[in-house]
């Protein structure tokens, strides 16, 4: 299965203060844009194991990669015992503030949900995404949104 993981831009950002968990309390308007990473995910015959490959050597590997963390969270939540190969082709510049890693994680969750036919609703995937990274939940909804908290409280909106 192959999916596209879009970049994002923040059209507005209000930093409302520091939280007790060392994140900032924010309110932001985020929109997805038409710059994408490509992710290919395949089932593997092994019962366990997530193999990750990326064409950009600057991207974190193993459990430091958000797509890998998303796969780990998915398999823990669903209790599915399977192996997968995740191949990432980067087009979104790593570390540029465009949400590439978060989008890769969200797209991985949605692709695994489809690949393993678990039929988890977006809200369940967004809840899973909260523990992975601040912007991951935003990408689950595939829409412009107002995001609050540290970014995990997502209210999709329509823009003109």
Residue pLDDT, tens place only, 35-92: 999 999 999 877 768 999 999 999 999 989 999 999 999 999 999 989 999 999 999 9
Residue 31: what pLDDT? 97
Partnered with residue 146 across adjacent β-strands are 29, 155
Give the whole-angstrom CA distance, residue 139 versus residue 6: 8
Q: Among 156, 135, 147, which residue's Cα sits nearest to residue 6?
A: 135
Asked if residue 70 lies in contact with residue 16, where contact means CB atoms within 8 angstroms, the answer is no
Active site residue 8: yes
**pLDDT on residue 23:** 82
Instruction: Mark whether 89 is an active-site residue.
Output: no
Asked if 127 and 141 touch (Cβ cutoff 8 Å), the reply is no
pTM beyond 0.85: the answer is yes
Confidence at residue 160, expressed as pLDDT on a 0 to 100 scale: 80
Determine the average pLDDT of the residues in 126-135. 91
Report whether pLDDT(34) > 90: yes
Considering the candidates 37, 90, 104, 135, report the single residue annotated as catalytic.
135
Band (115; pLDDT cuts 50, 70, 90): very high
Give, in degrees to the nearest 5, the angle at Cα 63 between 77 and 76.
10
Catalytic residue among 8, 37, 90, 104: 8
Rg (CA), the chain: 15
């Amino acid at each position: 299965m192959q999916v596209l993981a879009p970049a994002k831009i923040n059209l507005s950002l209000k930093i409302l203060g520091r939280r007790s968990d060392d994140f900032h309390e924010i309110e932001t308007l985020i929109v997805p844009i038409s710059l994408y990473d490509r992710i290919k995910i395949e089932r593997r015959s092994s019962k366990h194991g997530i193999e990750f490959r990326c064409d950009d050597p600057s991207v974190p590997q193993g459990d430091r990669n958000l797509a890998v963390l998303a796969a780990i969270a998915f398999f823990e939540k669903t209790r599915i015992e399977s192996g997968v190969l995740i191949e990432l082709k980067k087009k979104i510049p790593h570390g540029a503030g465009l949400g590439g890693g978060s989008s890769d994680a969200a797209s991985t969750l949605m692709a695994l949900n489809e690949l393993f036919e678990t039929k988890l609703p977006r809200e369940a995937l967004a809840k899973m995404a909260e523990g992975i990274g601040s912007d991951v939940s935003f990408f689950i909804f595939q829409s412009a949104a107002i995001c609050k908290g540290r970014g995990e409280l997502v209210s999709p909106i329509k823009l003109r």
